[in-house]
Structure 1
Amino acid sequence: MTGWDAEVDVAVVGGGACGVMTALRAARDPGLVVGVFEKSARGGCNAAISSGSLAAGATRWQAAAGIEDSPQRHAEDILRASGDEERRPVVEALCAAAPEIVEWIAGTAYPIELGADMPRAGMTAWRLHTDTGRLGGGRLMRHLRALLDGHDNTAFVDEAPVIDLAAHGSEVAGVVVSQNGSPQRIRAGAVVLAADGFAGNRALVEEHLPQLGTPFYGGVSTSTGDALGWALRMGARLRNMGAALRSGLVVVDHGTRVSPALPFNGAVLVNLDGERFVDEESKGYSSLAGVLRRQPGERAAMIWDATAMAATRESEMMRECLAARAIHDVPAIEDLATALHRTPEEAERALAPLPGRRRLTAPYHLAWVTHGLLATQGGLVIDPSGRVLGTTGEPIPGLYAGGGTACGLAGPHSDGYLSGNGLLSAFGMGWLIGNNLAIEQR
């Protein structure tokens, strides 16, 4: 057609978790041609730097461990934390798909196990599934991209940033891709916005998330939020732009993160005044960031012992901390007091266990932690099929969104984020969109 440089059935913007899953599911239809346009694989994606943990209820791994769970229970946990009842249809659709996704990934010869050492705040059942060996999200993304290479009807085009949508009236008709500095117009029957969020865009963060202050940024450089502006020009709506995935476990001067399982194994937080200031088990790592932000110096000492170290040291995060020498060994209470600039008696009081918790015993381990920003949670309003909704509530023809481009599951505030929500939203919406496109585009 005149004015187009190339044509595909499905144009996917971004080759992260949502984009690759969308392409894998859509490519099952041999009649579809799917193009995945990635800004920069070298720049990475948020899924690749995550733990790679997949939250799902009612899986065979849970059953084998004697854990009772269900997609509905999973959804209720998320909605209880977020308070965003309006998002219930999307949440329920994602939680219903989650066990199917975990089973499908395992069926592609990817080693999955239930994370029995991964307790998390806000979850009423153990439901995080992870890779054996705990090599993280990078391993999972490499595996899925390799699967995509096996489909003759897909193309993963790297170093090809999408710079705009192509429209025909009120309908999305394709994308404009920059290749070797030149714009290329790609016609598409459906466009899927599967880019990361806007956490790497300082101006947008300052506009929508001023309450975060100046956190350490632990996300990828490609999270610039460009797709939000394109969709807004098509009449899309934004939601929950003040929410983000944060972490209160970022090690000062290192940028690594200690394990979220440490507080469930007795670890305590002590601020610069030598005070315990939070029930550590009551906070997820995202909500903990807000608590750290309010402490003197915006930091605190995370302290644990050999028992807690043994339970967590094989996680990817703890291995990275140990390799970076971000964890200090503290032989005795006197040494801990020196590190905290307190007397031994004050240090003992700070370590006093809360009711029902165990007492830490020497030798100790210590890491100074602060708050960080990992990814944003606000984004485009979508329906349970991933269709982007306009101001009237009706879908914008030809436009879908998932991953960091779509509104996440945390609700209006960062405290509503539960562990696993990010990959659930990304893989889950990619699964739903890809399945639908494999039917609709025939």
Structure 2
Amino acid sequence: MTAPARTVRRADAVDAEVYTAVAIVGGGASGLTAALMLADAGIDCVVLERDALPSGSTALSSGFIPAPGTRVQRAHGVADDSAARFAADIQAKAHGRAAPALVEAYAKAIGPALDALQERHGLQWMLLDGFLYPGHSVHRMHALPQKTGAALMAALQAAAEAAGIPVLTQAVVDTLVLDAGDRVVGIDYLRPDGTRESLGCDALLLACNGFGGNADMVRALLPEMAEATFGGHVGNDGSAILWGESLGARLRDLGGYQGHGSWVTPQGALMSWAVMMEGGVQINAEGRRFHDETQGYSEAAVHVLAQPGGIAWNVFDTPLLALARGFPDFCEAEAAGALRRCDSVAALADCIGCDAAVLQATLDAIHGSAPAPAPTAAPAADGRVFARGLEAPYFAVKVTGALFHTQGGLDTAPDMRVLRQDGTPLPNLLAAGGAAGGVSGDAVWGYLSGNGLLSAVAGGYIAAHTAAALVQHKEASA
């Protein structure tokens, strides 16, 4: 595999002018959440970020985070959610193949994490209660009012700056320094001018990345996505896994990932899956539907890529267009010319390039499955039942399947400490977010909507509490 140089060296200490209690590699949602929680606990930390401006996978996402039991959720009158119910939804989507201890830990931590970010750091969450995302049994998806990952990153960066947290950008960490007892004593990193610097620490959190941007690793570990568009961040180069392999750490769920079956092409933007959940359909170049769209947008990526030319058309009507325009990503795609209006089935067939009679039969089947006005109608061939059919004018957006981020990585205990092959934890090395194995199991269909930011924010929150305890224990023993 072609991979960046990510090494481990052994030393009793690092020769560094700068020391911090906790070093955090990666300035995305996971790293910044951890840093904010450490600041709240009075623990010094430094965030090292490879880019000139922290962004990562978070900035490219929709910024939606599922969480039960938050103040915002309760204020909206959702009183029947709980960590246990959320955990059950996660496992149902993953067919029971997600790590049970991590599922429980994340489901319990994410609500308090969002409340802490709101109450102590000014992130004003709203609950997306207009529709249910695939696999969620209750409204629990949170977002900032802007409904973008970029806005989430901006809010976290502003909070970190207000808290006085040092964020060292353009610092590419390439070496972890551990003593003979596997205790991290520091890191080495590269600066833009080619100079190398070191940082000493009492604990290290890897909150850096997955491997979706490493084409060779994707080809080897996720062959079905080898030719897919990568919609994630180029910094997802597999660093955490490479360090883990050097340390003899255990890896988990490397076949798990988040795909998306609604990557607008050629404009290169994400179209909200809410349109599919509320009655939109995906139609291939032959004019046919090819899967039950309500099963999830992650596995939809594989379904779309299996169609002729690896493309599909998202087809919807006027009420659904109004819904779509409530999402900034769609508005950007529309402004870039992605939206096609078709006033008849014949015009829609011309747009798609398919036989009008085949397309008409497809749309008739949607009408036939609707409970009203035909209450005895059978469901569509794939089992989906539509509340209503689509009406002219029709709207269409050309899409393909994309890989967004991987869900496998370093195996961790529920407190986010990295585990060795024998299941024992390394003393002071933690991993969260894309660096760690998530809660989506080992296949694309295991991804429950929001699992990426769930593991990032909940993992960062938990890791901060663990790191703080490690630092406090060391100080008490000194």
Query: d(CA) in 2 for partners of 1:16 and 1:2?
Result: 26
Q: CA deviation at 1:86?
A: 6.1
TM-score, normalised relative to structure 1 = 0.95
**C-alpha contact (below 8 Å) 1:193/1:405 kept by paired residues:** yes
Q: What's the counterpart of residue 468 of structure 2?
A: 438
Q: What's the counterpart of residue 427 of structure 2?
A: 397
Match 1:308 to one of 315, 320, 324: 320
**C-alpha contact (below 8 Å) 2:27/2:54 kept by paired residues:** no
Q: CA deviation at 1:65?
A: 3.4
Q: What's the counterpart of residue 48 of structure 1?
A: 59
Q: What's the counterpart of residue 406 of structure 2?
A: 376
**C-alpha contact (below 8 Å) 2:186/2:198 kept by paired residues:** yes
Query: d(CA) in 2 for partners of 1:43 and 1:142?
Result: 9
Residues matched between the structures, number: 438
Distance 1:278 1:190, change over 3 A: same
Q: CA deviation at 1:60?
A: 3.3
**C-alpha contact (below 8 Å) 2:287/2:355 kept by paired residues:** no
Match 2:174 to one of 163, 182, 185: 163
Match 1:59 to one of 70, 75, 90: 70
1:285 aligns with 2:284: no
**C-alpha contact (below 8 Å) 1:83/1:416 kept by paired residues:** yes
Cα deviation code 1:267-292 (max 9, x no counterpart): 111111222211222x2110111111
Matches within 5 A, 1:159-238: 159-169=170-180, 170-179=182-191, 180-238=193-251
Q: Which amino acid aligns with 1:425?
A: S
Q: What's the counterpart of residue 347 of structure 1?
A: 359
**What secondary structure does 1:228 align onto?**
helix
Query: d(CA) in 2 for partners of 1:83 and 1:361?
Result: 36
TM-score, normalised relative to structure 2 = 0.88
Matches within 5 A, 1:354-433: 354=369, 355=379, 356-357=385-386, 358-433=388-463
Q: Which amino acid aligns with 2:395?
A: H
* RMSD over aligned Cα atoms: 1.7
Query: d(CA) in 2 for partners of 1:2 and 1:417?
Result: 40
Query: d(CA) in 2 for partners of 1:321 and 1:90?
Result: 36
**C-alpha contact (below 8 Å) 1:28/1:438 kept by paired residues:** no
Q: Percent identity?
A: 32
Query: d(CA) in 2 for partners of 1:242 and 1:86?
Result: 12
Question: Runs of 5+ in structure 2 lacking a partner?
Answer: 1-12, 370-378, 380-384, 473-478
Query: d(CA) in 1 for partners of 2:102 and 2:395?
Result: 42
1:142 aligns with 2:154: yes
Q: What's the counterpart of residue 87 of structure 2?
A: 75
Q: Which amino acid aligns with 1:406?
A: A
**What secondary structure does 2:22 align onto?**
strand
Cα deviation code 1:193-226 (max 9, x no counterpart): 0002111111111111112130111111111111
**C-alpha contact (below 8 Å) 1:216/1:255 kept by paired residues:** no
Distance 1:41 1:95, change over 3 A: farther
Question: Runs of 5+ in structure 1 lacking a partner?
Answer: none
Distance 1:426 1:2, change over 3 A: closer
**C-alpha contact (below 8 Å) 1:292/1:300 kept by paired residues:** yes
